[in-house]
Structure 1
């Protein structure tokens, strides 16, 4: 029996996965999470065989950041990215994060089941449009140390917070301006730093300057 955890911010999607996979095809849904932070906490407790991970989740850690953290803590758990993003950059970032597979939400039920079985057995699974050429390009980029412009993978909110951090606003000031909690600001900052591969605030400021974000108007 393949033990599966579903991570998606849409309750309807999670319910659909439970109806589709629960107790069928040798598969069992053992947990559900609505964001990356919840997914990491729950996965450490239930230790699923496979995690179906969405990428875009507005609260907490996004799917790519959560995948990186989850694989550090549970290296034997396979992560299958299940997303609507048919984008080369997201595919490459998912592989970087340690995902075993990448599948579009538009895939058929049969393909989803096949993908889950594949990653559960320790294999990789990519959706059909992820061609051999893309993998070749990715390996070339790895050799060159070039992962493309990961700034484009930031959400609009993360870009907004990045700009304000670079402009010198404190977490409290950013929270007040955007009408969100300080904890949410800190979470977004951590996520965007991970996505960009940045370690320090000066590095963030340098990138913000290159992107033309230091506009104080």
Structure 2
């Protein structure tokens, strides 16, 4: 059984070369091609690919970013691998934000493209080795901090705000008339709920969600 691929790229030469390379692999087959997003979305229903490989920059018709959003909305379980020439991490972050399962640079080693396809087929994520692991992790964390819904209790939000403003556990304890142990327990719950690992991340979350007070701690 071969992995079925749909290619969406506005450059005919790129699609042709990519299709020839992928079809030469014993376990891959290109079942469809499209020059822009609208056509690509239509072909998903016809060819039923296992993975979509999509360019980001397609000035004519539906662009790559919109295409990714629409695929994620209409086919949330369909893996999408972004293939782009842009090395700026802002493109990596935006691709992750809108639901891409992986990203590979067009100028990368072809073997890395094959690794990415097989990783996505196995339900994994794959990001080009050009981007250090810490960069990918940071981008994912920043997106989580920006989009994670507030699920804190009123007390937890109060402790988060005071911690972000620089209050110590003892100062929070005195201010809220609760024990230091209770403050520590609340903090542990906050960090777990928001998937935070450091005070710096906690402060950043408070800033992003408007929980910081203007005045400094008294």
TM-score, normalising length: structure 1: 0.64
Q: CA RMSD in A?
A: 1.5
The answer as to 2:44 corresponding to 1:43 is yes
| C-alpha displacement of 1:115 | 1.0
After the TM superposition, which residues 130-149 of structure 1 pair with which residues of structure 2 at under 5 Å, given as runs? Answer: 130-145=131-146
Question: Where does residue 6 of structure 2 map in the other structure?
Answer: 5
For 1:20 and 1:105, locate their aligned partners in 2 and report how far apart those are by CA, in whole Å: 13
Q: 1:13 to 1:143 in 2, by over 3 A?
A: closer
After the TM superposition, which residues 51-200 of structure 1 pair with which residues of structure 2 at under 5 Å, given as runs? Answer: 51-145=52-146
For 1:59 and 1:95, locate their aligned partners in 2 and report how far apart those are by CA, in whole Å: 23
SS of residue paired to 1:56:
coil
TM-score, normalising length: structure 2: 0.63
For 1:70 and 1:132, locate their aligned partners in 2 and report how far apart those are by CA, in whole Å: 26
Question: Which is higher, the Rg of structure 1 or of structure 2?
Answer: 2
| C-alpha displacement of 1:143 | 4.2
Q: 1:140 to 1:118 in 2, by over 3 A?
A: closer
The answer as to whether partners of 1:47 and 1:74 remain within 8 angstroms in 2 is no
CA offsets per residue over residues 136-187 of structure 1, 9 Å max, x none? 32244224428xxxxxxxxxxxxxxxxxxxxxxxxxxxxxxxxxxxxxxxxx
The answer as to whether partners of 2:5 and 2:30 remain within 8 angstroms in 1 is yes
Alignment size in residue pairs? 146
For 2:112 and 2:137, locate their aligned partners in 1 and report how far apart those are by CA, in whole Å: 24
SS of residue paired to 2:4:
strand
Where does the alignment leave 5 or more consecutive residues of structure 1 unmatched? Answer: 147-217
| C-alpha displacement of 1:132 | 2.5
| C-alpha displacement of 1:38 | 0.9
